[in-house]
Chains A and B, each alone.
Chain A
Amino acid sequence: MNKIETHNVNLHYGDFHALKGISMSIVENSVTALIGPSGCGKSTYLRLFNRMNDLISSVKIEGDILVEGKDIYERGVDVDELRKKVGMVFQKPNPFPKTIFENIAYGLRVNGIKDKAFIEERVERSLQQSALWGEVKDKLKKSAFELSGGQQQRLCIARALAIEPTVLLMDEPASALDPISTTKIEELIYELKNQYTIIIVTHNMQQAGRVSDRTAFFYMGELIEIDETKVIFTNPKNVRTQNYITGRFG
């Protein structure tokens, strides 16, 4: 089943045409990797699904963007509700200057949950899901800034998971991390895809190969090709895809 569909989406930053007529589908409970050279529009495309592009005043969007069959840019759509359903993890870990516990509880609190026992249980579960519980269970009251970069990123993943989204957007979630943390995050993605629809942007071809089921190749604002990951990496139809994954440009 398709969790997300875009039909002929065009996005402009002022006069700059950043996404050109993109139509594609994202399969539910699978991992889709977005690859392509820097500036080709991967992040811009990703931000469509939780309407983060709305924060940029020069943005103009045309076309249909459907999440679970509903047009999320329709009038009357509650953006905060959408963002509860579509979580996001950023390239640079951005924990809040709060305790580890409060970082994760934050998403619950702003969504009106007050029950203490419930929050505690959800915090623990999210930390377990993001494979951080063992490392932090004795210092939940410590500042999140005391964690390492890799731990902070897993904290941000836990923070996103705590509000039980069904879609997880990850924009180069491991690009600022060491190989061990990267492996942990990749394993995590592998675990999570049973329950979540994950879209991940990455510049690391091996990573795309390891974690994703389907891969989409973007080039200068266009979707060149999308297919099963192993097809993209072994037998791409388009010569530009082939050049990119074999490292001949980009």
Chain B
Amino acid sequence: MKQPDHLKVRKKKQRNQRLAFVSFGIISFSMVAILVVILSFILYHGFHVISWDFITKMPEDGMTKGGIYPAIIGTLYLVAGSMLFAFPIGVMSGIYINEYAKDGMLKRFIKMMTNNLAGVPSIVFGLFGMSLFVNKLKFGDSILAGSLTLGLLALPVVIRTTEEALKAIDNSFRIGSLALGATKWQTTRRVVMPMAFPNVITGLILSIGRVSGETAPILFTVAAYFLPKLPHSIFDKVMALPYHLYVIATSGTNIEASRGMAYGTALVLIMLVLIANLLANALRRYFSKKVKMN
């Protein structure tokens, strides 16, 4: 057998290494670049629209003037409502699947269903929400119906991230706790969950991002075309940012005149998601610090 030429082999390895490094670098850089272009485009068109009045006033003149205050409030309500529903249920389901369910048919079935749920188009959630919450349960077009619909949409994300977060916890911690006479629930609540929680928060972040931008699920369940007042109860309709954006960009009374408003709305929506992410990240850091010290 011919001996490999060591110098040649080394050169080839180095060349491949550099090639991989450069090409992956270019790809990730261009992804970031695209994102930056989109953001600056919206920033450029939307920035001068944004003012104190814009975020605190009702829309006026067929939504070509004034502000988007009710839509901001509406979206905040919907995000909060959907999380109030999806987060506890999602986390509990994740705990059940990872900590309690025995490996077998049932567990596989539940996991398959949550995966499928994650792939269902959001308009289907909208239709489902309409027929169940709006019509069957008679909530009407309301914050309640919209929040529940958005919550369903967010559920698989929360379940999945909870599951992953729990799976990442080394079994030796569970065994150590059980060996001290702790019950499974004590072990889950006092050892496993505090460790997993920072990563569970990731699920919250992801689903807030997803929920706040969705239009289809709120279309038939809560969103108002034009409603220049704030809701009084969870049975009221609200305006919401993504739907408002859709309306003034495609079917407003004067699309040209409200172009600036549309960019402003888009910018506010992006900012809201950004702020929510920052908040959730701070929460995540807080919990990961707390877990080491408790």
Contacts and interface: CB of A to CB of B under 8 A. Distances in A.
Contacts of A80: 181-183
B102 A107 contact: no
B294 A55 contact: no
B121 interface: no
B293 A159 contact: no
The winner among A83, A96, A145 for most chain B CB atoms within 10 A is A96
Interface string A66-96: 0000000000000011111001101010111
A159 B175 CA distance: 13
Say what secondary structure dominates the interface of chain B: helix
Contacts, number: 76
Give chain A's interface residue range (CB within 8 Å of chain B). Answer: 20 to 34
Interface string A96-113: 111100100011011100
Contacts of B176: 90, 94-96, 156, 159
B3 interface: no
Contacts of A97: 173, 194-195, 291-292
Given A55-B175, A57-B103, A143 B293 contact: yes
Contacts of B103: 57
Given A52-B175, A90-B175, A92-B172, A110 B181 contact: yes
A96 B292 contact: no
B294 A102 contact: yes
B12 interface: no
A110 B186 CA distance: 7
Interface in B158-198: 170, 172-173, 175-183, 186, 190-191, 194-195
Interface in B271-293: 291-293
Contacts of A110: 177, 180-183, 186, 190
Most buried by B among A84, A87, A97, A111: A97
B179 A88 contact: yes
A160 B292 CA distance: 20
Interface string B98-141: 00001100000000000000000000000000000000000000
A107 to B, nearest CB: 4
A75 to B, nearest CB: 19
6 contacts: A83-B181, A90-B175, A94-B172, A94-B176, A110-B183, A141-B293
Interface of A: 50, 52, 55, 57, 80-84, 87-88, 90, 92, 94-99, 102, 106-107, 109-111, 141, 143, 145, 156, 159-160, 163
